[in-house]
């Protein structure tokens, strides 16, 4: 249960950053903004289907949260500005 709570809290924190990055990209407008909105909707449908599959195959809520966190991490990496290191 502690692990599930941890996964949920981390998902909320990490998703907040992705929301920020996406809103900045959408606010700039243009073709990239349209692409981002379409990609966002597609990803949400895919994530819901994945979560459904996980639960239907006997997975638990923690497995669903881990799957969502993986998707959020990929989006954070994609949307973040390149590192200057």
Query: CA-to-CA distance for 67 and 65, rounded, in angstroms?
Result: 5
Which residues make Cβ contacts (< 8 Å) with residue 69, sequence separation at least 6?
A: 7, 10, 11, 14
Residue 22 falls inside a structural domain: yes
Angle between the 2-28 and 30-56 helix axes, to the nearest 10 degrees?
A: 160
> pTM of whole model > 0.85?
yes
Whether 65 is in a domain gets the answer yes
Q: Is 84 a domain residue?
A: no
pLDDT tens, per residue, the chain with 85 residues:
579 999 999 999 999 999 999 999 999 999 999 999 999 999 999 999 999 999 999 999 999 999 999 999 999 999 998 877 6
Contact, 14 vs 76, CB < 8 A? yes
Q: Is residue 6 part of a domain?
A: yes
Q: Is residue 85 part of a domain?
A: no
- Domain hosting residue 73, numbered range: 2-79
**69 falls within a domain:** yes
Into how many domains does the chain fold? Answer: 1
């Amino acid at each position: 249960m502690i692990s599930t709570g941890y996964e949920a809290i981390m998902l909320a924190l990490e998703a907040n950053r992705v929301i920020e990055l996406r809103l900045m990209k959408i606010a700039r407008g243009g073709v990239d903004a349209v692409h981002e909105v379409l990609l966002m909707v597609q990803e949400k449908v895919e994530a819901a289907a994945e979560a459904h599959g996980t639960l239907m195959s006997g997975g638990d809520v923690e497995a669903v949260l881990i799957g969502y966190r993986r998707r959020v991490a990929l989006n954070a990496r994609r949307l973040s500005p390149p590192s200057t290191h």
